[in-house]
Chain A
Amino acid sequence: MEAVLFFLAAIGALGGAIGVVAMRNPFYSVLALIVHLFSLAVLFLLLSAAFVAAAQVVVYAGAVMVLYVFVVAYIGGGEESAWEPIPGQQFIAPLLGVAIFVELAIAVLASSLLALGTDGPDVKAGFGDPAGIGYLLLEKFLLPFEASSILLLLAAVGAIVLASRRREGESA
């Protein structure tokens, strides 16, 4: 059962990822990324990371993707021009991607982590639930938690400054 679920989610995640790269229209790329994110949430659930999975669905597939859809609708889903500034880019780039995968696969195969070939240890019932994660965030990782809140505020202010309409006569 777990294996079936894993492979279904893996196919969804991989198909979504390839869809993002292969779709010519950016709007369809965004929709493919939503499929990818939902499949990843299923994988997180299989890894008993319930809170991360919930955050993935709510924050990523919900909020961030809505932002993407709005921006793509605003700038229009124009297709890329056929003009190719770098000759052979369409052939060299996939080769480099395959090279990265081979490199990572070598790193995984050559790793001396013995637990990599196991299902992982049996975890306690509360592993990865909101209570455990929240305890860690507010007790042990309070400083990174607060720092990320400042980072979010800065990003929001920066986005408003970047995207705001400038008055006439003001230099760019």
Chain B
Amino acid sequence: MNIEWYIVLSSLLFAVGAMGILIRRSPVVILLCLELMLNAGNLALVAFSRMVDNQQGQVFAIVVMVVAACEVVVGLGLIVAIFRRRLPLDVDELRELRG
């Protein structure tokens, strides 16, 4: 398969993830859409690493996975903390920090 197909698929997945972040208001689903965007980036990294015949891109993809796992853990911790305080789980109602 042409590398171009993988890159086009990756940009399509990134666009879908970005669209999801803009549309949805539940913080859990927004975290899921962040995962979509990170994975689209991973796909592009691995495709380019195949294109230039260099494994370093794959190492980069693994580091991205680690960072994504950290982000998920902290994000879900925040969501659980919000839920415990009986605050609404809706990013448009949690607007205390908005200027």
Contact = CB atoms under 8 A, between A and B. Distances in A.
Interface of A: 2-3, 6, 10, 13-14, 17-18, 20-21, 26, 29-30, 33, 36-37, 40, 43-44, 46-49, 51-52, 55-56, 59-60, 63-64, 67-68, 71-72, 74-75, 78, 80-81, 85-86, 89-90, 92-94, 96-98, 100-101, 104-105, 107-108, 113, 115-121, 123, 127-128, 132-133, 136-137, 140-141, 144, 148, 151-152, 154-156, 158-163, 165, 172
26 contacts: A14-B9, A17-B13, A20-B36, A60-B39, A60-B65, A63-B69, A67-B72, A67-B73, A68-B76, A71-B76, A74-B80, A80-B24, A80-B26, A94-B23, A96-B19, A97-B18, A100-B14, A100-B15, A105-B11, A115-B3, A118-B3, A127-B55, A133-B58, A151-B66, A159-B77, A160-B77
B58 A46 contact: no
Given A14-B12, A43-B6, A116-B4, A71 B28 contact: yes
A24 B41 CA distance: 26
Contacts of B32: 20, 26, 29-30, 33, 68
A49 B65 CA distance: 14
